[in-house]
Amino acid sequence: MNSNNLKKTDVIFGIWPCMEDNKYPILEAVINRNPDDIIKDIINSGLKGRGGAGFPTGLKWKFAASQTESEKYIICNADEGEPGTFKDREILLKVPEKIFAGMAICSHCIKAKKGFVYLRGEYKFMLPQLNKVLESFHESIRKTGYDFEIKILLGSGAYVCGEETSLMESMEGKRGEPRNKPPFPVVEGFNNKPTVINNVETFVNVAMIQKLGVAEFVKLGTDDSRGSKVFSVSGDTPKPGVFELELGMKLSDFVAEYGDGDTKAVQVGGASGFCVPRKRFEDTIIGFEGVPTGGSMMLFNSTRSMYNVLSNYLDFFAEESCGQCTPCRVGCQQLIQGIKAVKKGSKNEDYLDSLLKLTESMKITAKCGLGQSVANSFYSIVTNFKEEMIY
């Protein structure tokens, strides 16, 4: 197969440093611009959130900017916990200054003076280095007279805290349980104040849109999926690692480049994403028009049991559910016991249909994205690999 269809990009890492001689030239330019114009830029860039849910970033900022409260917050969601995702790790290690710059741009747009990076506890090892960069960032913006401060907070091992309202509960010193929505964070977020929360990569994209200009940025990607994306590639691949690729690629092109020649399925978007079987590689687009992803691409070859894969995901969900809502807490346990029973033959094959119906209900009744998305991998694995599920 021809892998030339895959366009490798370098927007996020490296090529346009936004920090020169300990100065942030983009930032200096940005703070002299009208916030509304910048928000317009972001809207026109078509940038959608890179955490997985894909909410239009510019729109989110516009809502937050329109809030009249004087106290507002910006949060960078660095609680990267999705199985198979590690791209934020590389961004945080390699270009943290771009994240801070993106947050500062946001602060100018929505008029916030305080920002937080919620860093997952598993990444505590990078805290000293991050704080060093942050210190010089603070120093350089202080010189420009701009009032904005970022604080890095640590998580303590809870996947669900990647959900934005759980993350805020956690920041407030509570159990990381998702809140009822509405109100949404742009109206009532951290400390019940208007809050913009974006993924690490989203903030970097914002900085780079300012650096490159909208016209340059929109050259990448498709109508629905503008720009490039940082992918975390793992599993049965000769080239595991972090790669930046243009959005809107065909999964078949991806597999041609990163597969081991025997790829049977790709889990797009981590445990909460979709499992795409080989027969669908050709017609699967990676992007918001097709299968969206926060970046996780896990490849499985024909030696792998998809039952084991699903079972591993379900154990993960059952453990990492916050446990407050019925469909997620009990639903996950039922799915675990259910596929076990079918596998060992104590329930017949039809029981899988009952479980599929159950996941349909979980999808529409769970309180947050975690419980709602369990259905994704369950449905895509059970329907595509049914023969591996049964006794």
Partner 1 sequence: METKINLEIDGINISVEKGTTILEAARRLNIKIPTLCHHPDLCVAGNCRVCVVEQEGARTLQASCATPVSEGMVIFTNTLKVRTARKHIIELLLSEHNSECTKCYKNGNCELQSLAADYKITNDSLIDLVPFKNYTIDNFSPSIIKDDSKCIRCQRCVRTCEQLQSVSALSVAYKGEHMKISTFLEKPMFEVVCTNCGQCVNRCPVGALVERNYIDEVWNAIYDKNKHVVVQTAPAVRIALGEDLGIENGEIVTGKMVAALRKLGFDSVLDTDFTADLTIMEEGTELLTMLKKAIVDKDSSVALPMATSCSPGWIKFIEHQYPQLLPNLSTCKSPQQMFGALAKTYYAEKRNLNPADIISVSIMPCTAKKYEADRPEMRSSGYKDVDYVLTTRELAVMIKQAGLDFKSLPEEKCDSIMGQSTGAAVIFGASGGVMEAALRTAYEIITGKEIPFENLNITPVRGMQGVKEASLKIMDTLPEWNFLEGVTLNTAVAHGLANAKTVMDSVAEGKANYHFIEIMACPDGCLGGGGQPIPTCREIRVKRNEAIYREDAGMALRKSHENPEVIQIYQEFLEKPLGHKSHELLHTKYTDRKSK
Partner 2 sequence: MTETHELVKQLADKYGRDRASLMPVLQAVVEKQNYLTEEAMNEIADQFGISAAQVFGTASFYSFLDTEARGKYVIRVCKSIIAEMKGKKAIIKALENVLKISVGQTTPDKKFTLLETNDIGWSDQEPSMLINETPFTNLTPEKVINIINEYSSK
Name the residue nearer to partner 2 (CB basis): 25 or 240.
Answer: 240
Write the binding mask 333 to 352 for partner 1: x where contact by CB under 8 A, - elsewhere: xx--xx--x-----x-----
Q: What residues numbered 162-181 form the site for partner 1, per CB under 8 A?
A: 175, 177, 180
Residues with Cβ within 8 Å of residue 386, at least 6 apart in sequence: 349, 352
- Rounded to whole angstroms, the maximal C-alpha distance in the chain is 70
Among 57, 85, 267, 321, binds partner 1 (CB under 8 A): 321
Q: Which does 366 bind (CB under 5 to 8 A by kind): partner 2, partner 1, none?
A: partner 1
Residue 380 interacting with partner 1 (CB under 8 A):
no
Amino acid identity of residue 247, one-letter, is: L
Question: d(Cα 151, Cα 215) in Å, to the nearest integer?
Answer: 33
Contacts to partner 2 by CB under 8 A: 80-86, 88-89, 120-125, 153-159, 170-177, 191, 232-236, 240-242, 271, 296, 298, 300, 304, 308-309, 312-313, 316, 319-320, 322
Residues with Cβ within 8 Å of residue 97, at least 6 apart in sequence: 17, 18, 19, 24, 133, 137
Among 140, 199, 205, 372, binds partner 1 (CB under 8 A): 372
Q: Which does 324 bind (CB under 5 to 8 A by kind): partner 2, partner 1, none?
A: partner 1
Question: d(Cα 347, Cα 41) in Å, to the nearest integer?
Answer: 56
Strand arrangement of the beta sheet that strand 114-119 belongs to? 149-154, 114-119, 73-78, 195-199
State phi, psi for 222 to the nearest 5 degrees.
Answer: -120, 180
Which two three-digit tokens encode residue 341?
A: 């029973």
* Minimum CB distance to partner 1, residue 264 (Å): 29
Question: d(Cα 372, Cα 368) in Å, to the nearest integer?
Answer: 6
Residue 301 interacting with partner 1 (CB under 8 A):
no
Residues lying near partner 1 in the complex (CB under 8 A) are found at: 158, 160, 175, 177, 180, 182, 317-327, 329-334, 337-338, 341, 347, 354, 357-358, 360-367, 372
